[in-house]
Amino acid sequence: MQTQSTVLAKLGEQMSNIRHQEKSIEGESSVNRSTESESRLAGKKVKLPLFEGEDPVAWITRAEIYFDVQGTADEMKVKLSRLSMEGSTIHWFNLLLETEDDLSWEKLKKAMIARYGGRRLENPFEELSALRQSGSVEEYVEAFELLSSQVGRLPEEQYLG
């Protein structure tokens, strides 16, 4: 017959294993909830936007807002982004995962802009300074807002000329 201390040791070991399995299941559960790419915050449904190959800068901006609202860890951003790929973008993304070692969110953003274009400029301030209205006011305002969003916060006198 086993001694009481042996039985207690085995029970302790089993409890430890159960706790480890429970943590693993909780982790998978939170990943599954995250992979649904939506959550309810303040009664509103928030979704990670789909990416179909158009306007990667706008998609990245919206994805970063989503990740910020959700408090998404950096290591989850690429995984969740994969769920957002639609159409041929998923094939490109899969190839990128195979060819890129340790794909980070920063690397993914750069790769998306390189592949699908976009308006991330090396020096958006220079282009903003040279911006002139040649079409409608609406087109000018749109171009101004796009460039301004990439420049960041400027002093008020910069906006006035």
pLDDT digits (tens, 9 = 90+) for 29-69: 555 554 444 555 555 677 889 999 988 988 998 999 999 99
CA distance 39 to 107: 26
CA distance 109 to 75: 14
In a domain, residue 97? The reply is yes
110 and 154 share a domain? Answer: no
Q: With pLDDT > 70 as the criterion, what percentage of the chain qualifies?
A: 70
Residue 120 in this model has a pLDDT that exceeds 60: no
111 and 57 share a domain? Answer: yes
105 and 59 share a domain? Answer: yes
DSSP bridge partners of 142 = none
Helix (H) or strand (E) holding 40: strand 38-41
Query: What's the pTM value of the predicted model, to 2 decimals?
Result: 0.54
In a domain, residue 62? The reply is yes
Query: Residue 134 belongs to what domain range?
Result: 124-160
70 and 109 share a domain? Answer: yes
Give the number of domains in the chain: 2
pLDDT of amino acid 80: 94
In a domain, residue 7? The reply is no
pLDDT of amino acid 129: 82
138 and 109 share a domain? Answer: no
